[in-house]
Amino acid sequence: MSLKKYVVRRIGQLIVTYWAFLTLLFVVFRLAPGDPTSMYLQEGLSAEEREAILARHGLDQPLHVQYVEYMAQYLTGDLGQSFRHGVPVWDVLVVRFFNTIILMGLAFAIAYLIGVSVGAFIGWVRGTRKEKTGIVVTLIARSSPEFWIGILLLMVFTFYLGWFPSGGIRPPGTEYETFLGRYLNWGVAYHLVLPVLTGVIYYMATPTLLMRSSMINVLNSDFIQIKKAEGIPEYIILYKHAARNSILPMTTVVALVVGMSIGGSLVIETVFSWPGMGREMVESVTYNDYPLAQAIFFLMGSLVIWMNFVADLAYVYLDPRVRYD
Amino acid sequence: MSVKDHLPANVESKLTSSRALSQIKDGVSTAYELYRSDRLGQFGIVVLAAFVFIAVFAPILAPYSPGARHRRDDGSLARLDAPSTDHLLGTTHHGQDVFSQLIVSARVSVFVGFLAAFIAVFIGTNIGLISAYYGGWIDDILMRIVDIAYGLPFLPFVIVLVFIFGANIVNIMLVIAAILWRDSARVVRSEVLSQKQRPYVESARAIGASDFRILYRHVFPNVLPLTVLYMAFAVAYAIMYEASIAFLGFGDPNVYSWGRMMYQAYTHGAIREAWWWVLPAGVCIMLLVSSVFFIGRTLEEITNPEIRH
């Protein structure tokens, strides 16, 4: 199969996955027991009022009509009206979406950078005490759910040392005119430290362990022995030859870690009162605001599906040996 | 193997059952040898055994009922009392004994952890076996389903389902299993794909063994170590996800769990003052989950001998 054919096939898969994901979303939110009509309409509502509300949200139609309408809406980017805020879902989400992307994107990027370097190092010093310590520390970090790491950091750095704020995204009362101005300032950076650190500690375990085993595979190959025999300094072999050749498998878990961090945003944002999608999701579910919950679920799932797609394409692009199957 | 290729069917069946058995025996003895020399694995087993013991005997071990409200000598509610001989880990905002809650909560983690992981790996292994063995459109459909399961962000999905179906411990367990199966499905499938090419499958087929028999009698014992490994990972993730769900406030309101303890401590602002209410539950989650990961690491050396030192 040629590269072109592979890409076309992968796009086909993407479409099928999206369709199934959207359908699942519809089924989960409309067909499950305790459907939204009974859950969201307060008691004591007269029959006419109830019907009016149902009609406004299109809930009085038969299910197959609702399904077609829902698909059409989502495909044209209309995510519906929030029950709780009384405004289009997009208006609620547009700022929160970027707040989450900034937070989790930073945590993810730093976790990957540290994970790859630490993993390369402990793979290199295989069989020593340092490796063992590295693995134990990594496994313990992986065993600590985000809320536990976050609470520990809060206890130490906020309540004991008083170095960082306990939550929020910027000092109260500050307003910014431009989009970039919202994020590129010291107030936000200061509020970002602890939540990002929480994510970094938890998410770096997966890339670290994978990089280590990938390093071990590469270090066993002949060309490393040859480089050693050539008398090339160790650190050059480590970074120029071994680590570079070990990085490829890291693309395979990108989507997995993105998925973990997207889901983890619910917990981290709750602990640090970060005004992002994750916390909004928790609240919208608590307050029965199902169009909002559904839209956030859709955005989060889309991020993971797209990252999967990009990672697959990156993999075949980066590795010319790969067979497209 | 080469001898077996030429044997009649009745002898073959005897041979395979003893082969499968001896394979499992080999695995167990390798595991034993590895654990004997591996401190980390030993530590994991001891800690895990301790938690299982605590979970089983929780009602006997807990000094008080976890929900009982205690009063001080002067009759006031023992609100956020520091640790003392009466209350080893102090009291909560509602005057409840933290130590007793901690002990009773071990039950939920161990129960949900093992059961959810078992269901997940059972489903995943079967899907992996069937998908790889039959190939073709069956494989295509099953793998697309796995892809979709990977597209679902875990926590949001679980929370929505738990919310819709009701927050009780059985639902939480089933919902966790409903998404955790994807890992073992993918891994078992790729292992079976390579096992399928080996001569023993062909000889079994030539002798006339049914697909079912080949899959579960011949192929399955060969992927069993991998299944056990993924079971360990699934236990660890199930425990963490259960705790995260409870921490977000979507846990079963009728049972005590470590996640729920942290949720209550957090919402009452106890992390400012009452360390005894916050730290123990977190430490327990970390200890239990890391013990499972330590055991998993040693298991990994059995399934992948190349990484043995």
> What CATH number is associated with residue B235?
1.10.3720
Same-domain check for residues A39 and A130: no
Asked if B71 reaches chain A (Cβ–Cβ under 8 Å), the answer is no
Q: Which residues contact B285 (CB under 8 A, 6 or more apart)?
A: A143, A144, A145, A148, B109, B239, B240, B243, B258, B259
Which residues in chain A (136-155) have CB-CB distances under 8 A to chain B? 136, 139-140, 142-148, 151-152, 154-155
What pLDDT band is residue B306 in, cutting at 50, 70 and 90? low
Best probe of the A interface among B42, B43, B147, by most A CBs < 10 A, is B147
Cβ-defined contact of A308 to B147 (cutoff 8 Å): yes
Give domain status of residue A187, yes or no: yes
B52-57 average pLDDT score: 88
Same domain, A127 and A97: yes
Q: Is residue B81 domain-resident?
A: no
In this model, does residue B125 exceed pLDDT 60? yes
Give the whole-number percent of chain B exceeding pLDDT 90. 16
CA atoms within 13 A on the CB side of A155: 19
Start-to-end CA distance of chain B, whole Å, equals 29
Q: Is the pLDDT score of B25 beyond 80? A: no
Residue B307: is its pLDDT beyond 80? no
Confidence at B1, pLDDT banded by 50, 70, 90: very low
Q: Please check whether residue A211 is in contact with residue A242, taking contact to mean a CB–CB distance below 8 angstroms.
A: no
* pLDDT of the residue at A25: 86
Integer CA distances (angstroms), A213 to A216, A217, B194, B229, in order? 5, 6, 21, 16
- Higher model confidence: residue B54 or residue B8? B54
Is residue B75 one of the residues assigned to a domain? no
Mean pLDDT to the nearest integer, B296-308: 71
- For residues A67 and A196, state if they share a domain: no
**Do A289 and A211 share a structural domain?**
yes
Is B254 among the domain residues? Answer: yes
Least confident of A233-237, A319-323, B111-115: A319-323
Q: Which residue is closest to A271 within chain B, CA to CA?
A: B266
Residue type, A118: V
- Asked whether residue A115 falls in the same domain as residue A68, the answer is no
* pLDDT attached to residue B276: 82
Band of residue B9 on the pLDDT scale cut at 50, 70, 90:
very low
User: What end-to-end distance do the CA atoms of chain A give, in Å?
Assistant: 8
Whether residues A270 and A300 share a domain: the answer is: yes
Q: Per-residue confidence at B309, pLDDT binned at 50, 70, 90? A: very low
Owning domain of residue A27: 3-75
Separation CA A198–CA B28 (nearest Å) = 38
Residue A254 or residue B121, greater confidence: B121
Q: Do A22 and A135 share a domain, yes or no? A: no
Q: Which two tokens stand for residue A73?
A: 């809406």
What's the pLDDT band for A238 if we cut at 50, 70, 90?
Answer: confident
* Domain final residue pick, A21, A43, A75: A75
Taking a C-beta distance cutoff of 8 angstroms, is the pair A138, A201 a contact?
A: no
Using a CB–CB cutoff of 8 Å, tell me whether A11 touches chain B. no
Contact map slice: B 265-284 vs A, CB within 8 A:
266, 271-272, 275, 278, 282
- pLDDT over 90 (residue A275): no
Q: Is residue B264 part of a domain?
A: yes
- Helical residues (DSSP H) of B166-247, grouped into ranges: 169-196, 199-207, 211-213, 220-247
The pLDDT > 70 percentage for chain A reads 84
Amino acid, res. A193: V
Task: Give the sign of the dihedral formed by CA B146, CA B147, CA B153, CA B159.
Answer: negative
Interface contact A16, partner B, CB < 8 A = yes
Instruction: Give A308's DSSP letter.
Output: H
- pLDDT score of B120: 94
Beta bridge partners of A258: none
Helix (H) or strand (E) holding B262: helix B258-267
Residue predicted with more confidence, B71 or A193: A193
| Mean pLDDT on A194-207 | 90
Task: Provide the pLDDT confidence category of residue A110 given band limits of 50, 70 and 90.
Answer: very high
Chain A contacts in chain B segment 73-112 (CB below 8 A)? none
How many structural domains compose chain B? 1
**A236: which DSSP letter?**
H
Angle between helices B220-247 and B154-165 (to 10 degrees): 70
Q: Is B285 within 8 Å of A148 when comparing Cβ atoms?
A: yes
Both tokens of B143, joined, read 């793998």
Question: Among A22, A48, A75, where does a domain finish?
Answer: A75
Tell whether A245 is within 8 A of chain B (Cβ): no
Convert the pLDDT of each residue in B225-269 to its tens digit.
Answer: 888 888 988 999 999 999 999 998 888 888 889 988 889 888 887
Task: Band the pLDDT of A173: cuts 50, 70, 90.
Answer: low
CA distance B53 to B62: 13
Question: A20, A44, A75 — which closes off a domain?
Answer: A75
Say yes or no for a CB contact (<8 Å) between B157 and A297: yes
| In-domain check, residue B203 | no
Q: Which residues of A197-225 are buried (b: 16+ CB within 10 A; e: fewer)?
A: bbbbbbbbbbbbbbbbbbbbebbeeeebe
Residues A244 and A167 in one domain: yes
A51/A104 same-domain check: no
Where residue A17 falls among pLDDT bands split at 50, 70, 90?
confident
The answer to whether B154 contacts A260, with C-beta atoms less than 8 Å apart, is yes
Q: What is the CATH number of the domain that holds A288?
A: 1.10.3720.10
CB contact under 8 A, B153 and A135: no
Q: What are phi and psi of A88, to 5 degrees?
A: -55, 145
Residue A65 counted as domain residue: yes
Provide the shortest C-alpha distance from residue B84 to chain A (in Å).
Answer: 22
Taking all residues of chain A, what is their mean pLDDT, rounded to a whole number? 81
In a domain? residue B119? yes
Is the pLDDT confidence value at A42 over 70?
no
B290 vs A140, A264, A300: nearest CB: A140
CB of B15 within 8 A of CB of B4?
yes
Answer yes or no: is A46 within a domain.
yes
Co-location of A71 and A100 in the same domain: no
**Structural domain total, chain A:** 2
Contact B293 A263 (CB under 8 A): no
Q: In the predicted model, is pLDDT for residue A35 greater than 70?
A: no
- Going by pLDDT thresholds of 50, 70 and 90, the confidence category of residue B7 is very low
A57 and A159 part of one domain: no
Question: Percentage of residues in chain A with pLDDT exceeding 90?
Answer: 6
Report, as an integer, the average pLDDT of B38-42: 81
Query: Across the interface, do B289 and A300 touch by the CB < 8 Å criterion?
Result: no
For residue B272, list chain A residues with Cβ-Cβ distance below 8 A. 159
Residue A306 lies in a domain: yes
| Distance separating alpha carbons of residues B159 and A279, to the nearest angstrom | 12
Q: In this predicted model, which residue has the larger pLDDT, B20 or B150?
A: B150
One DSSP character per residue, A39-87 reads HHSPTT--HHHHHHHHHHTTTTS-HHHHHHHHHHHHHTT---B-TTT-S
Range with lowest mean pLDDT among A194-203, A257-266, B206-215, B296-305: B296-305
**Does A155 lie in the same domain as A62?**
no
Q: What is the pLDDT of residue B126?
A: 93
| Min distance B81 CA to chain A CA atoms (Å) | 19
Chain A from 48 to 107: CB within 8 A of any B CB: none
What are A88's strand-pairing partners?
A81
Cα separation values, A251 from B31, B189, B250, Å: 32, 20, 34
Percent of chain B with pLDDT over 70: 88
Output the pLDDT for position B64: 76
Structural domain includes residue B206: no
Please name the residues between 158 and 177 in chain B that touch chain A, using a CB distance below 8 Å.
159-161, 163-166
Query: Is residue B6 pLDDT above 70, yes or no?
Result: no
Q: Is residue A26 part of a domain?
A: yes
Contact flag A293-B286 (C-beta cutoff 8 Å): no
The percent helix, strand, coil of chain B (3-state, each to 5) is 75, 0, 20
Chain B positions touching A16 (Cβ under 8 A) are 144
On chain A, the residues whose CB falls within 8 A of the CB of B152 are 21, 24, 301, 304
Q: Is residue A278 part of a domain?
A: yes
Residue A81 counted as domain residue: no
Query: Is B77 a member of any domain?
Result: no
Is A86 domain-assigned?
no
Most confident residue range from A60-69, B39-48, B239-248: B239-248
**Alpha-carbon gap, residue A290 to A30, rounded angstroms:** 10
Nearest CB partner across the interface for B286, out of A140, A216, A217: A140
Give the domain range for residue B266. 3-66+99-189+224-307
Does B198 score more than 80 pLDDT?
A: yes
Are A194 and A157 a contacting pair, CB within 8 Å? yes
